[in-house]
A and B are shown apart, each in its own frame.
Chain A
Amino acid sequence: MRDLLKDALRGVDGFAELRWHGKTFRNVHVQKGRLESSTLRRRDGVAVRVLLDGTWGFASTGDLSLAGLRRALDDARAAARAAAPLRRERVPDLPPAPFGVGDFDQPGVADLLARSTDERVALVVELEARARAASHQLSSTRALYREIVEEKAVVTTDGADAAFRLARPELYVFATAERDGQLQTAYESVGATGGWQCLFDRQPQAMVDRAVATAVDLLSARAPEGGRAQVVMSPSIVGLLVHEAIGHTVEADFVQAGSAARGRLGQQVASELVTLCDSGHSEHAPHAGGTIPVDDEGVLAGRTEIIRQGRLVGYLHNRESAARMGMAPTGNARAWEYADEPIIRMRNTYVEPGEQSVEELIAGVEDGYLVDGPRNGQADATAEFMFGVTTARRIRHGKLGELVKGVTLTGNAFEVLGTVDGVSRQFQWDLGSGHCGKGQPMKVDAGGPYLRCRVTLAGEQAA
């Protein structure tokens, strides 16, 4: 495919980038004993991006013939010419970058492709049946398997010439418990870059048992009191915090638009205990769900420090933002499918591990909570965030206590990271299932150690 793309680029004036991008999705979903879906989705094509008169033109095509690619190049050039007169500021010349050249296949693809449909269906059916049999208090149970096998080739007129294949399987189990008309749902999930075996690192049967136990326990849980509280965040909540509330504010396109990270390079924005990075590699632990060897501009996807010992030291860039801000591309340009334009996205975002044990962190809390399991999350340009938490346990006098329900954490992420006074040495990737949304979905991962800090909990107010 790289040869075909290079043939199409032969003789093209100016900058052009061709990306062949194929994806195969499989999905098996069982709920309350019924197979809701067993699906296969294939989509592939070529994205064409050109830079003419300092203006981008973009076209996509499913026609993979040489003539089809040249037609798409013509379409993209026509689009750029149409837009150029209305563009106020020209896109600067793109800076040189550490381009990927060659094949960068990731492990796990052959393993996943070798699995039969029967094997996938059997796993999901078994897990859902296990959940259904676990408690008479359950009104609904479901299990879901999804996988993506992705193939790409990226060729540019200025030197990128890379191809790779990778695989991303993921597994979810959900349990809904019911008592006296009250319903509570809990779930567990795992998502990875790699083969079938990655799903078993978390022991799927244990995931089922935890989801069921949490849903049933939540029926008896009370809502927390609202207000400021000291919390110990699990790696999944740390991942949500650094992805949603910090990571998006340091995406250079958002920085240029005026995010809370704008103009703060070199400033102390967090506790000195915090070093925060985004990487195309799976740092500290294997199989991170956002791993990529090369981004969609053909740039090698390395490790980028965002906060070093509390000081803001970097942003996440594509080639254009790097040129505009006089910095180096970081390999963060990503597109969801072939018809999507590459935009700045995170990969695997995390806090570097520290020195303490989780037990030490909990023992240091006089009155607070251990929060684990993201239910959902959103953040703002201001770095203010809101995260729903699946499970929160009271901590009193350094000891874990009862479960509370309906916990939502809010605050300003930089301020919260400024209150960090404990970082565990245990490290985990824990946001590999699901997608990040920014106009397009994207597979990312995030995680880190356990962190002790202070946040605001949404809770009940007296009348």
Chain B
Amino acid sequence: MHDGIEQELLTLARRGVDAATRAGAHQAEVYASAERVVKVGFARNDLDTVSTARETTLGVRVFVDGRLGFATTNRAEDLPALAAEAVQLARSSPPDPHNGLPEPIDVPATGNLVEPSLLSLGPQELARMGAELLAMVRGLRDPRVPDGQVSVDTMDLSLHDEARAVASSTGVAQAFRGALASGGIFGMALLDGQPGSFSYDGDVARHPDALWPLLDASFRRFATNCLGALGAGRGESFRGPILVPAEVISDLLVGHLVEALSADAVRQGTSPFAGRVGQRIAVPGFTLVEGGAGLPGHPLCPFDREGLPRQRIALVEDGVLQGFLYDSYEARHAGVRSTGHAGGGATSLPTVSAACLSLDPGHAPLDELRRMDRGIVVTRFSGAVDATSGDFSGVVKGGFLVERGEARPVQETTLSGNLWQALQQVSGVSVETTLLQGTQRYPALRIEDISVTAG
């Protein structure tokens, strides 16, 4: 992609707004994105496929008498016809008095996030780096099971160069370009031909110099988890503590908590936290923050799906619920201002979502939290979590049973409990934190009184 492409997208988006207005929209918004991807894929411990892709995508949101319609395409030449189809969809929809587009709000001028040297990463460089990472992962051993070796099912290294723009009939006009490189790995370890539990990991970087160390660290973590799952034995059934490392916090806890703290869940009657702002919902010391336009040192696009500034919001502070995340619809419905948390892209309507999250660290060293008389270290959680009721149950993958400080891998061990009660059962927060994907920073948590069942 070339310099200035985000401004060209903005021009295209404005043309789409005009086309929708001509087609009968009372309000119209066009979100445009263009992306170039170079991907080097590995499979079954070897390089597999190198691929390239470019695409421009457009999403048209319109309102006619408070009625909503949305249409999207990957063909810019179809924009006028698409705008007319969005208007047709709106005319078939029931009205909603809260529907509408937001008025523009100033967005801090942070500029694009494009490191030119990152854009020069080509398929050969990515393939070479991938081959070295693959060899590193395959060469790692666990002294407990020296014959165990990681088998990589799939692994990829990618470069994503993306521009986006949003324009609306109310005057919103924002454009941005960002580039990042990413890597992901998925597989398991084998011992005497028998597989252990699979694992996955990965990370992203905006500078080529940061890519290798981040991927090296996350791929080593992946290998440690795969090898650690080998030779797993039967666990035990009991009620007791679990240790949830930073990598598992989102899957088991924070992802579901943020879903319940989204204003749409409150409006729709599926959040147990409706009407509880100011109340204690977690133990003292539990502080969850949505970082707005990026965690410190890790900036993101400064505006959301609706072109409004992303704001930093403390959702839970010292265990007390502070508020919810809003996009413009939910804000209008609730009679407050948008917090700039409309997520999504050109192919979807805006929905409330978090862009980046952090949990404050605690005071206990991780090693101290691991020292349990009898407890489970949750290396990966594969299970069902109901963000409405908070009930959860599922299997610990590659987990460890700790007894009197000694850990051994266990298989087919299930956990069950209630997340919202678990927030009140956090007995320790680690002083160490881990940054994940550049958008999440968490400590480890120890949670008491969880039901553990051996398979």
Contacts and interface: CB of A to CB of B under 8 A. Distances in A.
Interface in B109-168: 122-124, 127-128, 131, 151-154
Interface residues of A, number: 84
B415 A458 contact: yes
B188 interface: yes
B46 A88 contact: yes
A393 to B, nearest CB: 18
B394 A178 contact: no
B223 interface: no
A407 B386 CA distance: 12
Interface in B230-287: 237-239, 267-270, 272
Interface in A202-234: 223, 226-227
A378 B47 contact: no
B338 interface: no
B414 interface: yes
A69 to B, nearest CB: 14
Contact of B78 (A34, A42, A263): A42
Nearest to B56: A62
Contacts, number: 254
B393 A408 contact: yes
Interface stretch (B88-96, B355-363, B422-430): B88-96
A427 interface: no
A251 to B, nearest CB: 10
Given A41-B347, A408-B394, A57 B92 contact: no
A44 B41 CA distance: 23
B40 interface: yes
Contacts of B67: 35
A226 B416 contact: yes
Nearest to A379: B382
Most buried by A among B41, B397, B414: B414
B416 A411 contact: no
Interface string B406-443: 00000110111000000000000000000000000000
Given A37-B68, A140-B268, A226-B451, A258 B384 contact: no
B52 A178 contact: no
Contact of A37 (B41, B48, B70, B198): B70
B19 interface: no
Contacts of A262: 193, 195
Which residue, A86, A139, A227, A460, has most C-beta atoms of chain B within 10 A?
Answer: A86
Interface string A124-157: 0100000000000001101000000000000000
Interface string A406-425: 11101110000000000000
B73 interface: yes
A341 B268 contact: no
Given A58-B49, A83-B123, A408 B384 contact: yes
Interface stretch (A272-280, A362-370, A382-390): A382-390
B43 interface: yes
A80 B50 contact: yes
A185 B272 contact: no
Nearest to A387: B384
Interface residues of B, number: 88
B54 interface: yes
From DSSP, what is the main secondary structure of chain B's interface residues? strand
A461 B68 contact: no
B171 interface: no
A83 B71 contact: no
B270 A183 contact: yes
Nearest to A254: B153
B57 to A, nearest CB: 8
B455 interface: yes
B74 A381 contact: no
A47 B431 CA distance: 49
B152 A257 contact: yes
Nearest to A89: B46
A75 B53 CA distance: 9
Contact of A253 (B43, B89, B96): B43
Contact of A55 (B47, B82, B154, B394): B47
Contacts of A116: 92
A341 B49 contact: yes
Contact of A86 (B47, B53, B153): B47
Contact of B188 (A121, A263, A381, A462): A381
A348 interface: no
A342 to B, nearest CB: 10
A321 to B, nearest CB: 9
B386 A45 contact: no
B382 A378 contact: yes
B100 interface: no
A463 interface: yes
Interface in A105-123: 116-118, 121
Contacts of B403: none
A290 B69 CA distance: 29
A463 B239 contact: yes
B393 A39 contact: no
Contact of A40 (B89, B198, B269, B452): B89
A462 B397 CA distance: 23
B193 to A, nearest CB: 6
Interface in B30-87: 40-41, 43-57, 67-75, 78, 82, 85-86
Max chain B C-beta neighbours (<10 A), residue from A37, A182, A456? A37
Contacts of A45: 55, 74
A37 B268 CA distance: 14
Nearest to A139: B269
Interface of A: 31-32, 34-35, 37-45, 55-62, 75-76, 79-80, 82-83, 86-89, 116-118, 121, 125, 139-140, 142, 176, 178, 181-185, 223, 226-227, 253-254, 256-260, 262-263, 339, 341, 375-376, 378, 380-382, 384, 386, 388, 405-408, 410-412, 439, 456, 458-463
Given A83-B50, A460-B416, 20 more contacts: A41-B72, A44-B75, A82-B122, A82-B123, A139-B270, A181-B272, A226-B416, A227-B453, A341-B41, A381-B153, A381-B196, A384-B197, A386-B395, A388-B394, A406-B393, A406-B416, A412-B412, A456-B453, A459-B453, A461-B239
List 3 tightest A-B contacts by C-beta distance, closest first. Answer: A388-B384, A139-B269, A458-B414
